[in-house]
Structure 1
């Protein structure tokens, strides 16, 4: 059974909007590129899929845009070539090496977890909360940015039950950000 990892940047006050933290730097991009290497596939909801595709999909020209720094290219290449599953009831089709997931999200993700491999990686806000409620997340990875946003969506807002987590890894970045990795202490995902 391959594990499902939830990974996201978050501010000190729990905001997980992609524009609320610090802009990515070379160190954090290297970290996220390596973390993506621990997964066989990415799992996104519609909003995250569309946001990631608009930022990280290789242009038809084959040349990365001028705004992209050289140290961002390995991340862009990794996410561009990654296998993707998109949970959506509103999209009719997906591309970008993606497959549309419809129906009961719990059953669909449980089936994906049953496949052999290194793991699945989920990002975003709404889908991870639903998966956490279902006890399907095996690892939580938060890169906590040294910023207080004061507004915006917060991490796992609306979760039905409290999560009890065990810290299994910690890494500090030169920017002051800290990567924290946790595993659930109880629930279906910890079995």
Structure 2
């Protein structure tokens, strides 16, 4: 059975994006960028919501061909293209590359994908993660917390009907006061 992880940059007050989808507060250090790149390289399947997919797919497919692309950006772009992806959206008509589109209810499809063989899965995007969270499908939460208060926006966590007990399995500091915390769900 595959594991499902929700990992994102998050502000200290719990938001993955500030009002207006502003991500300017979450620019990673070189060390953190490399950590995200290594994570993409180890992901067996990434599950994307529409908004994050549109942002990522507008940049990373050709980012390695841009003037001034760094070796780290070139490596990330290659890893991102190679990583199998599923996009969940009822408004997108088609996706390309190493990607499949699912237009129906995400929860049954994520449940099915978890039963397949293969490497670990990441859910990317707060709205899609919220559906998986409410359904009890997330096995691990990774918060890469930046020392900033943004005051509102898109929350990392959604409202839940029941408590979810977690075990802390890793902490790691990064430059600029960023702290990674990784928790596994206790089933």
Scaled by the length of structure 1, the TM-score of the pair is 0.88
How do residues 94-173 of structure 1 correspond to structure 2 at under 5 angstroms? 94-173=95-174
Taking the aligned partners of 2:130 and 2:40, their CA distance within structure 1 comes to 20
Deviations 1:22-51 (A, max 9, x none): 312210111011112332111001111111
Tell me what 1:33 maps to: 37
**Which blocks of at least 5 consecutive residues in structure 2 are unaligned?**
none
Q: Which moved more, 1:31-40 or 1:16-25?
A: 16-25
3-state DSSP of counterpart to 2:113: helix
Taking the aligned partners of 2:69 and 2:28, their CA distance within structure 1 comes to 11
Flag the 1:25–1:64 CA change in 2: closer, same or farther, 3 A. Answer: farther
Query: Considering only aligned residues, what root-mean-square deviation do their CA atoms show, in Å?
Result: 1.7
CA distance in 2, matches of 1:32, 1:21: 16
Corresponding residue of 2:47: 43
Alpha-carbon distance between aligned partners in 1 of 2:43 and 2:27, rounded to the nearest angstrom: 24
Alpha-carbon separation, structure 1, partners of 2:174 and 2:67: 26
Number of matched pairs: 183
Q: CA deviation at 1:67?
A: 5.6
Structure whose residues are more often helix by fraction: 2
The TM-score normalised by the length of structure 2 is 0.90
The 8 Å contact of residues 53 and 96 in structure 1, kept in 2 or not, is answered as no
Work out the CA distance in 2 between the residues paired with 1:66 and 1:122: 31
